[in-house]
Amino acid sequence: MWKNLTVGLICLVVCQGFPNGAPSSVCNSWAPRHFGTVAKAEETFPYTAIASSDTFDVDNGISEVTVTIEAPDDDHKFKGFVVAAFDEEGELFGDWKESNGVKKLSKCKGAVTHSNGKAKSTVTVTWIPPADVKEGFVQFRTTVVKNYKNYWTFIPVEARE
């Protein structure tokens, strides 16, 4: 009986995933810690991930960049995501606007995640450059989780330009 109870409790914790957002440890690998699973290959990524720009210029009115992740159809709704912003040296930077269903990763400045585990067809997040940087290049990458066994990690986000 205790063995079944222990297995059940472990499954409750492990199988549930992270419905309230990715843990800050995701910043080390950009992969969810889904025991016994492996990320899907980048070339099989079924979602559209688009940034409104890959540059910003605060003095010329480009003071925010949006990133949108969209499912191709209802069969590909996703439950989780992380989007991260990198500067030209590959360092995380900038900040994010929090919105409904979205929250910042507290120990991972420059990254944002989901705040609930509801299935999503689309999500749009808004990035803000650091106050002391007026212009430059930004590269976004995303991890998208369809379900416990199906996820893609560190996928480059294309700029719309």
* DSSP letter (8 states) at residue 54: S
Long-range contacts of 8-17 (CB under 8 A, 24+ apart): 15/148, 17/79, 17/80, 17/117, 17/145, 17/148
pLDDT number for residue 106 = 78
What pTM does this model have?
A: 0.85
pLDDT number for residue 107 = 79
Return all residues near 113 (Cβ < 8 A) that are at least 6 apart: 21, 22, 26, 80, 81, 82, 83, 102, 103, 104, 105
CA atoms in the 13 A half-sphere facing the CB of 82: 30
Cα 114 to Cα 125: distance, rounded to the nearest angstrom: 10
pLDDT number for residue 48 = 98
Q: What is the pLDDT along the chain (161 residues), one digit of tens a residue?
A: 434 433 333 333 333 456 666 555 567 678 887 889 999 999 999 999 999 999 999 999 999 999 999 999 999 999 999 999 999 999 999 999 988 889 888 778 899 989 999 999 999 999 999 999 999 999 999 999 999 999 999 999 999 96
DSSP string, 103-152: EE-TTSTTEEEESS---BSEEEEEEE--TT--EEE-EEEEEEEEETTEEE
Domain covering 22-159: architecture: Sandwich (2.60)
Task: Quickly tell me which residue has 């066994």 as its tokens.
Answer: 149
